[in-house]
Structure 1
Amino acid sequence: MRIYFDHAATTPIRFEVQEFLSNHENLKFYNPSSVHVEGQKARSSINNARDLIASLLKSDPDNILFTSSGTESCNYAINMAIEIHAIKNIIYLPTEHSAVIDPIINKKINKYQCKITSEGLIDLEDFQKCLKKTKENTLVCVMLLNNETGIIQPIEQVSKLCNEHGAYLFSDMIQAIGKIDVSTFIKMVDFASFASHKVGGIHGVGMVYFKDKIKIYRDIFGGAQEFGRRGGTENVIGILAFAIALEASYAKLADENKKYNLLYNKLISGLNEISNKIIIPSQNSLKHSSISTVIFPGIKAENLIIGLDLEGIAVSAGAACSSGKIGGSHVLKAMNYNKEHAMSSIRLSFGWDNNEEQVQFFLDSINNLLQGMKFKY
């Protein structure tokens, strides 16, 4: 029996989605752009899914665009903002996901990297300085819930400052959805990105939220799908699975967060009992209890990951999209941890299928591994 502690990379398919997929009648979907009965049935299914998601997010269905992934959603939101609002400046955090940082780096516009605190929070004083430097249209990019540390950024304060300076705000909410009620934060931003497989849906579906009924921006050509905004036949089954998974996650949000708090408290107390040399970033800030990065100074993360994998436990060394990169976590480096710390960190991320016995097994396993690796207790 294996233990999966890598839910921030992707989540298991929720039971409600499995039930939907097991019914073969639900899999008989056709091209939603076709005018025949079968095609229009598929079109109606997408519309119903969009309406359901919009109701959960307390937004307008017309402000929701389906994509193929969270990465595409981030790229689309940034590209749309630049095109529609003639953006000349971008302010972003060094702890953003590569799906946000990489598109920004490749844009030929003014870029300002805002400082963060040692806990990973945006430095609001430096943020105001960055805003004052920008004289023309500005886009601010701030992830709501960090995918490596679980830190939750003060979006309300960021949004207020953006409004005062006439800046637009984009928030990567891919890790936040399914963990917190993002409908509260949707109202504070101009653009947001999401991914189905982070809430128990299936891979291959992402989503972009945009605040206003802005003019049509097209990123992929070759069709008039998604209100003329994105060419390509829609992933009907994936979109429906997204709506089902999101509805299930909202229904269970309180109970699942209660469980995450129990698991997190057991993890932290257990690690503290093993050694006071173990470092747990951001534990003194507002963070979500389902995601934690843990640093074991002097021990290579890859050795711990392999050792735990052999014990039947799946963890990661940070963002799955960056797992092949050399040099350790860019998030920890931005928080002023040194390269050794960045190379000695692993990420644990809990899901609805985890329990306290699994956390205890992890604690016992990591303690045995550390002893074998001559960890300096």
Structure 2
Amino acid sequence: MKKKVIYLDYNSTSPCIDWYDSMKEIMLFPLNPSSIHYFGRFAKGVLENARREILQTLGLNIREYSLVFTSSGTEANNIAVNSCSNAYALATDHASTLRCIEDTSRIIPVTCKGIVDLDLLKILLKGRGDKPLVCVSLANSETGVVQPIRDIVSVAKSHDALVHVDCVQCVGKLNVQFSDLDCDSMSISSHKIGGMAGIGALIFRKNFSIKTYTKGGGQEFGIRSGTESVLHAAIFSQALSKAVNNVRNYMQHVSKLRDIMENLISQVCENVKFWCQDMERLPNTSCIMMPYVDAKIQVMRFDMLGFAVSMGSACSSGSMTYSHVLKAMQLSEDEIRSSIRVSLGYDTTEEHIVEFVKAWEVVYNQRG
């Protein structure tokens, strides 16, 4: 019998939608969009339909924007950042952006609340030579903090800078009008919204010169060569449509449960801290400091009690490392080492929350 585990790590990955019935016909075909015979033309049609539907679902004009399928949100960020020799990123951004920027003077500081320091951004961009690219995660995967994207874009544009927005965490979780972001490129990921892992997308204005990332047969507009996964693209489109169309109900559902959870935990421990609780956050995300209990121990004990939570971003090949996000917010070493992330989803119930809070109390009482 399988062990019962309550999943509270939706920012890491979401359970896949039930796609089999709608895709089983496609699965039976040999799908290579580069082939010129019937099966190749069929595959090409499915791929281009998915590309067009994703742009339309996000409210983006297909005459203004292009979409390149990638292997992940990480690769999409890599392609965007490496297309500019003068890129900047927030100190709390995802590692796939930060690790592409070797010059630490181009890392944009944030406040103790995790929000970009706009005054320092202006100073960093002032008088720079090559056209800058400002990269920003619209919503942080660990704290859930939502950046003031309109202000960031306004500052960037006033300094003749391009803007890349990492939208991986916000798609399907926030009611965002993507056409209003006024950014030059954005990245999204399938497995965060109920699609399959192994596919993401870089969306960019047609006048944004994206450099070739993978050389070969010239697929994906010559930017990312290699045979595309048609099935993954079709599922991606379907999952995105479902997530975006249901976003209001989703936000109402998870925000209610998160507030219940934080209130109940506060009754268990008066010294608990919920980072950025007073800021605009993803409605499903809570970054919780359990006093005097190391985050690694918390994650393992919760796992033994039947709860899947995390220390933060799960994109470090299974490693359990302390948060660079909380460090950038200038929290103390003890606070950083005692913080975990809980992220909820559509399948989370109030019963799950009550059970988790009971487990939280058990783990807390085992401290020392």
Give the alignment's TM-score, normalised by structure 1. Answer: 0.92
2:45 maps to amino acid: S
Aligned-pair identity (%): 32
CA 1:44/1:270 → structure 2, altered by over 3 Å: closer, same or farther?
A: same
Deviation at 1:60, TM superposition (A): 3.6
Deviation at 1:18, TM superposition (A): 4.3
1:90 maps to amino acid: A
Q: Which residue of 2 aligns with 1:368?
A: 362
208-217 vs 120-129, which moves further: 208-217
Q: Which residue of 1 aligns with 2:161?
A: 167
Deviation at 1:187, TM superposition (A): 3.8
1:38 maps to amino acid: F
* 1:331 aligned onto 2:334: no
| Structure 1: distance between partners of 2:212 and 2:317 | 31
Q: Which residue of 2 aligns with 1:52?
A: 53
Q: Which residue of 1 aligns with 2:269?
A: 275
CA 1:94/1:158 → structure 2, altered by over 3 Å: closer, same or farther?
A: same
* 1:99 aligned onto 2:96: yes
> What's the Cα RMSD here?
1.8
Write 1 or 2 for the structure with the bigger share of helix: 1
**Structure 1 unaligned spans of 5+:** none
Task: State the SS of the aligned residue for 2:13.
Answer: coil
Task: State the SS of the aligned residue for 2:99.
Answer: helix
Q: Which residue of 1 aligns with 2:252?
A: 258
CA 1:18/1:262 → structure 2, altered by over 3 Å: closer, same or farther?
A: farther
2:206 maps to amino acid: D
| Structure 2: distance between partners of 1:316 and 1:132 | 39
Task: State the SS of the aligned residue for 1:91.
Answer: strand
Q: Deviations over 1:20-54 (max 9, x none)?
A: 35x25544242110000011000000111111111
Q: Which residue of 1 aligns with 2:125?
A: 131
Describe how 1:190-269 pairs up with structure 2 within 5 A: 190-215=184-209, 217-269=211-263
Is the CA contact (8 Å cut-off) linking 1:155 and 1:188 kept in structure 2? no
Give the alignment's TM-score, normalised by structure 2. Answer: 0.94
Q: Which residue of 1 aligns with 2:22?
A: 20
Deviation at 1:312, TM superposition (A): 1.0
Deviation at 1:156, TM superposition (A): 0.5
Q: Which residue of 2 aligns with 1:75?
A: 78
| Structure 1: distance between partners of 2:259 and 2:108 | 32
CA 1:130/1:254 → structure 2, altered by over 3 Å: closer, same or farther?
A: same
Count of residues in Structure 1 that have an aligned counterpart in Structure 2? 363
Deviation at 1:169, TM superposition (A): 0.7
Task: State the SS of the aligned residue for 2:153.
Answer: helix
Is the CA contact (8 Å cut-off) linking 2:89 and 2:106 kept in structure 1? yes
2:60 maps to amino acid: S
**Structure 2 unaligned spans of 5+:** none
